[in-house]
Structures are given as structure tokens and as C-alpha cells.
Amino acid sequence: MTHQPRTAEKVIKSLSISDPGAIDLEAIAWLSGAKVKYRELDGCDACIAGRADVGRAIISIDSRSMARRQRFSLAHEIGHWEWHRGHQLMCSKDDIGGSGKSRGLSKEAAANRFAAELLMPKFMLKDAIRDFDRLNMRTVREMATHFDVSLTAMAYRLVESDFHPSLLLAYGKDGRRWFIRSKSIDEKWFPKNTLDRESSAYSILFEGAEDDGHMSTIDGDTWFDVGWADQVELGEQSFRTQDDEVVTLLVARSDRMLAD
């Protein structure tokens, strides 16, 4: 029988999973014929070796990674097994991620999309976000704990899901690395290439300041070159993800940023 690839939502629904705590990835892998092993890996964060003809695979996860990282990696490999069955894949740190680095049309991007949808199914997100009246990093942190994913993965998913018009941006010392914008925000709001000294993200990245404890209000011209950007206000909250990277959540506070 030929295997029919399933979306993450289909996998979740077929098992009647209705709560994030019940998303047992090892069980999901096992039920689709993949066994999971945790060991020290060289040269990749996770990999899969499987045979499409017999429908069996071994997924290996680097046991030295952080727990939530391992969880995202496993969901990513389950995505490969669903969609790229029979391919032997070695996935690096850059391949696997809840961030914008490997988005697009590649196999890695497809596996990341699958992982995000498997770990944070839309219908569960919608339900959980009702408990929060605003989007800030406290909301992201509580949602991330509830779904057992990283802050970046959750922030990315919330911005992409457009519950609140917002953007998520990552900067290194050499400038912008990636960003994502809710669909409801007009495309002219394209973030600057480098961090403005007025932003707290700048202080965190270049001056060793601590992560923002709360969301502050800032004028739009700190982040955008749009001519009248100083007339709109945004909520801004930043956190460090690595030594050399800061991620910022921007939440629109003005309808003037919305697409027509």
C-alpha cells in the first residue's frame, strides 16, 4: 500500500488529541512506524533513516540538545517521515527551527511547518489564546509552557496566526536575520536593516542589557522607514536567544498599520 502523506492537523485529529499535554511525539512516531533514539550525534541535530517499502524508520535525536529543542526536532523528523518517506536526511541546527531561517519551499521548510502545526495545532492555539487579552512576552511565555515549545517557536506561531497584528524580528550584530509579519499588517511596514539605538533590542544585543521585563511603547520610526512612522505607536519587547542574536516582538497599537 502506498503511503499517503498527512498534514499535522490530520495526524492530531486521527488520534483524537484535544489537549497540548496529550501530544506524545514518541507515540505518534511509533504509530506511523518510526522508532525514536536519543544519542549524541555528530554533524546534525536530528536525522532519519527509513525504508518506504517496509514503512519503518529510525529517528535519531541529539541527546545533548535542550529538551524543547529535542521536541521540535522530533516533530520535524516526523514531518519528514510523513512527507519525504524513504529519504535519508541529516538535519542541522539551521535546518530545524521554529524561526524564519528555513522557511520557504524546501523539504526542511516543509518539515518545520509540519512541526509547528503538530506541536501548536491551530484549534488548540485559538482556544488557549482566549485566556489572554493582549499579546506580549508574558503571554508568549505562558503559551510556550502550555505547549512545551521554545519562546521563539511560540512567538512565531502567534504572529503568523494573526490573533493580534504583530511582527517578530531577529537581529544579529550584522543586522536583520529574519522577520515575520501578521497578514493583517500592511506590507509597507518592512523593518529596518539594522537596529536603531533607541530600541531596547539594541541595548540587549550591544550593551549587554537584560531581556525586557515588560512591553514598552515606542514610536514606529524606531523600527520602520515609512515617512509618517513617527505617528504610530507599537508595543516592543525583546529577548536574547543566543550570545549574538536578539528577537523582538512588536505589536501594532494603531489601525493605521493595518492593510486595507
Q: Site for Zn ion (CB under 5 A): which residue of 62, 95, 160, 236?
A: 95
Q: Which of 28, 91 has the CB closer to Zn ion?
A: 91
Q: Which of 112, 248 has the CB closer to Zn ion?
A: 112
Q: Which of 108, 117 has the CB closer to Zn ion?
A: 108
Sequence-distant (6+) residues with CB within 8 A of 91 are 44, 45, 46, 47, 48, 73, 76, 77, 80, 108, 111
Q: Which of 69, 181 has the CB closer to Zn ion?
A: 69
Q: What are 236's strand-pairing partners?
A: 216, 250
| Helix or strand (DSSP H, E) at 235 | strand 233-242
**Among residues 117, 195, 106, which one has the least CA distance to residue 156?**
117
**DSSP codes of every residue in 7-56:** -HHHHHHHTT--SGGG--HHHHHHHTTEEEEEE--SS-SEEEEEETTTTE
Q: Is 34 in the site for Zn ion (CB under 5 A)?
A: no
Q: How far is the CB of 92 from Zn ion (least distance, A)?
A: 8
Q: Is 91 in the site for Zn ion (CB under 5 A)?
A: yes
Q: Is 155 in the site for Zn ion (CB under 5 A)?
A: no
Tell me the C-alpha distance between 11 and 14, whole Å.
5
Q: Which of 74, 111 has the CB closer to Zn ion?
A: 111
Q: Is 205 in the site for Zn ion (CB under 5 A)?
A: no
Q: Which of 111, 257 has the CB closer to Zn ion?
A: 111
Q: Site for Zn ion (CB under 5 A): which residue of 47, 111, 135, 155?
A: 111
Q: Which of 91, 232 has the CB closer to Zn ion?
A: 91
Q: How far is the CB of 59 from Zn ion (least distance, A)?
A: 11
Q: Is 25 in the site for Zn ion (CB under 5 A)?
A: no
Look at the block and give the residue holding cell 536603531. 196
CA angle 212, 150, 87 (to 5 degrees): 145
Sequence-distant (6+) residues with CB within 8 A of 130 are none
Q: Which stretch binds Zn ion (CB under 5 A): 9-17, 65-73, 84-92, 239-247?
A: 84-92
Q: How far is the CB of 70 from Zn ion (least distance, A)?
A: 14
CA distances from 46 to 49, 97, 189, 230 (A): 10, 12, 36, 45
Q: How far is the CB of 175 from Zn ion (least distance, A)?
A: 27
For Zn ion, the binding residues (CB under 5 A) are 91, 95, 108, 111
